[in-house]
Structure 1
């Protein structure tokens, strides 16, 4: 399986250190385990910023970067503990972490306060993401107060505090070759999961059975968990944008909207497809679906260097408005309808988002007052949709239909690569796939 070399994580730390400037220190905590109920925990998922800089996948660790130190990168982590490891699993330990993960220094978590106090002392600027872990905030503020209150002991607290996310999230926005390769693999696994769900769909099956098909395929291919709670909405449930109840029975004549992707080595895929339960689109379903697909293709044309989310959304919105006007779901003049955003009654979300270690990944959408333009190595989604509730004031044949089509694109020098092209989305291709699965 593809992986990111430890040397790449080290290079990221070095790049961040260079951006911080002299006499600076950054403190980046790992995630904590979270209680699910009483003495059981949710499956551990590492903090994305911490993982991006370390590749280290244990809870409660702390990364410290010091630009003016002989040990620029320090990891503080849980020590080896034979009894704890019998009950809860093996630990790497701070000694092995130093060599295996290429840190300049490592310490046991029992030395946390003394180590942080020493490293913070006399640094001029502290980079820290306040608010991510409130309990750890209190730890940091307490150590700063200790430094401020004892100048006669040679203590000196940083006089400037900056948000590390401004630097770190800009780095994460641009993916390396290794990251793109992992995301490509995550998208391929997710694409085959969607195909499997399409093939399984039949009258009388349930939404959660389709969900199970997806998650089984992810896990059997090395991605133990989905990147987010899978949406499997049939019929009018597809009009709930973040529907995750997934407990309805599939009915003849309904469409199913599946929004799901696996997480592979921390990186997310995010695919949406909409298809008919019985394998054949009705005429009204096909008419609406064709509009959404055409809107996506129009948006794709703007995914290139110099393009932007607003340009992609404008292209998609024009196609959606034109299609709704032709079907009689909107009335008026095309340009006036576009200007008034009349389409928002049926398409109320944005055209897409950044994708990476988080499914809604980090990265600014504006540079100052200007919208950010796409650049090579950015990865994003494009996901137009139409949502017509069962009680909408439209012709009856269109009510209760929800459609979204979502793909994952990486911006290249001359355009983009569609990482999720492996899932059918043309009407003929979907119907052929489902027809073949029933034969």
Structure 2
């Protein structure tokens, strides 16, 4: 964990934004895989980690905005626990590591919350995403677990998003560690991208690299020759000569900060002319995104600029036609680029999305679009120094979507469907970097995973 001053400062910053009531942060608990003693890998709640730092199950934290006190509720271990887990540090000692003095057994949390409610004080909670915590909150607050999300505090959500959006230097160092592990994962995948290789072998190998780096994968590995399926977790195929293998994968650091890279690799190391042409367009959009990303610019405008790069490149190849700006304005590019340019990244790979995407990626000034494609943009608001975002343009040829648009004559003024149908079996290409917004612009975090087509080919062939 970080030093206790980091957590104390974060809690004090939250207190400066909230002036009444108490904030309740539930940590996560072990989740059984198939029996209570055989659990899935434990992952602490990210907001609990951010403010309280303790990375083990069975905890709750409270920040009291009325009296300025912080509390950690948790149980010390008994002899049965010690037999199986070894000697454990007390809750009090752990709390002191993160600057919290007041602790109590977990059973006392109900009394504390009930007391606050009886006093007419508001109990602020974040939207729960785990069933166990929904049930726990039902017991604490007397609100049906089916409706508990409706009682999440918008005031607390906005305050937490405001704090967690800007990464401190200690957080950036952790993200760099995650990116270094991600670099190794992707270079290994490139080296393994040979005809006859099993996708699952590659996926499993790079997942092991994430674990060996001290953390886990930051999300389930996406690795497939069918890159036109955006989140393709099927790894059942054998790599074939002339195919493209899309790998979207990242790691967590030991303190759970994430990385998230995507590369698209020619199996065996050689791009066909058609593949190289599409790849170069996506790479140009990726580089344009980094170039345009800077403080004060909305990421929505960066997304639209990247879409214009894609539309312009596809027009040169004869796949699109007409005025590029009008094509993008009408959403014609979304046939090929049906997702957003990127999202926030930090303690979660899609940072804070459990708090509500409309609060994380948007604000009162920049609102989500309802247009197909642009509506999938997770991050649209103005960039600030310290924001960490992904930069992930792509071009995909999705047969079912092509058929639907051609049948309905959707954006027929801007799309040459005869030419598009020549690419039906192409697949997809996505290229993703993680970038940090600086005082004057943006920069790729850590060593950039090989992305130049010649360099990629060299790594695969080597």
- Normalized against structure 1, the TM-score is what? 0.88
User: 322, 329, 337: which is aligned to 1:332?
Assistant: 322
Which residue of structure 1 aligns with residue 57 of structure 2? 59
4+ aligned runs moved over 6 Å, structure 1: none
User: 41, 44, 50: which is aligned to 2:42?
Assistant: 44
Given that 1:4 and 1:179 are in contact with CA atoms closer than 8 Å, whether structure 2 keeps it comes out as no
Given that 2:193 and 2:265 are in contact with CA atoms closer than 8 Å, whether structure 1 keeps it comes out as no
Which residue of structure 1 aligns with residue 271 of structure 2? 281
Tell which deviates more after alignment, 188-197 or 394-403: 394-403
Given that 1:353 and 1:360 are in contact with CA atoms closer than 8 Å, whether structure 2 keeps it comes out as yes
- Matched residue count: 414
C-alpha distance after superposition, 1:198-245 (max 9, x if no partner): 11221111111111221222222222x1000010011xx111111112
| 1:16–1:121 CA distance, 2 compared to 1 (3 A) | farther
Given that 2:343 and 2:390 are in contact with CA atoms closer than 8 Å, whether structure 1 keeps it comes out as yes
Task: Tell me the secondary structure at the aligned position of residue 263 of structure 1.
Answer: coil
Which residue of structure 2 aligns with residue 218 of structure 1? 210
Structure 2 segments unaligned to the other structure (5+ residues): 144-151, 353-358, 368-380, 403-416
User: 83, 94, 99: which is aligned to 1:97?
Assistant: 94
Which residue of structure 1 aligns with residue 239 of structure 2? 250
Given that 2:290 and 2:443 are in contact with CA atoms closer than 8 Å, whether structure 1 keeps it comes out as no
Given that 1:192 and 1:422 are in contact with CA atoms closer than 8 Å, whether structure 2 keeps it comes out as no
Which residue of structure 2 aligns with residue 241 of structure 1? 230
Which residue of structure 1 aligns with residue 218 of structure 2? 227
Structure 1 segments unaligned to the other structure (5+ residues): 144-159
Tell which deviates more after alignment, 131-140 or 114-123: 114-123
2:142 is equivalent to residue 122 of structure 1: no
Aligned pairs for 1:362-377 (under 5 A) are 362=352, 364-370=360-366, 372-377=381-386
Which residue of structure 2 aligns with residue 259 of structure 1? 248
Task: Tell me the secondary structure at the aligned position of residue 227 of structure 2.
Answer: helix
The structural deviation recorded for 1:89 is 6.2
The structural deviation recorded for 1:390 is 5.7
2:189 is equivalent to residue 197 of structure 1: yes
2:343 is equivalent to residue 353 of structure 1: yes
Aligned pairs for 1:307-326 (under 5 A) are 307-326=297-316
2:173 is equivalent to residue 181 of structure 1: yes
| 1:221–1:335 CA distance, 2 compared to 1 (3 A) | closer
The structural deviation recorded for 1:99 is 2.5
Given that 1:194 and 1:214 are in contact with CA atoms closer than 8 Å, whether structure 2 keeps it comes out as yes
User: 161, 164, 189: which is aligned to 2:156?
Assistant: 164
The structural deviation recorded for 1:164 is 2.1
- The CA distance in 1 between the partners of 2:89 and 2:117, in whole Å, is 26
Given that 1:25 and 1:123 are in contact with CA atoms closer than 8 Å, whether structure 2 keeps it comes out as no
The structural deviation recorded for 1:6 is 2.2
Which residue of structure 1 aligns with residue 21 of structure 2? 24
- The CA distance in 2 between the partners of 1:240 and 1:162, in whole Å, is 34
Given that 1:292 and 1:320 are in contact with CA atoms closer than 8 Å, whether structure 2 keeps it comes out as yes
| 1:19–1:115 CA distance, 2 compared to 1 (3 A) | same
Tell which deviates more after alignment, 118-127 or 105-114: 118-127
- Normalized against structure 2, the TM-score is what? 0.84
The structural deviation recorded for 1:11 is 1.2
| 1:321–1:13 CA distance, 2 compared to 1 (3 A) | same
| Root mean square deviation of aligned Cα | 2.3
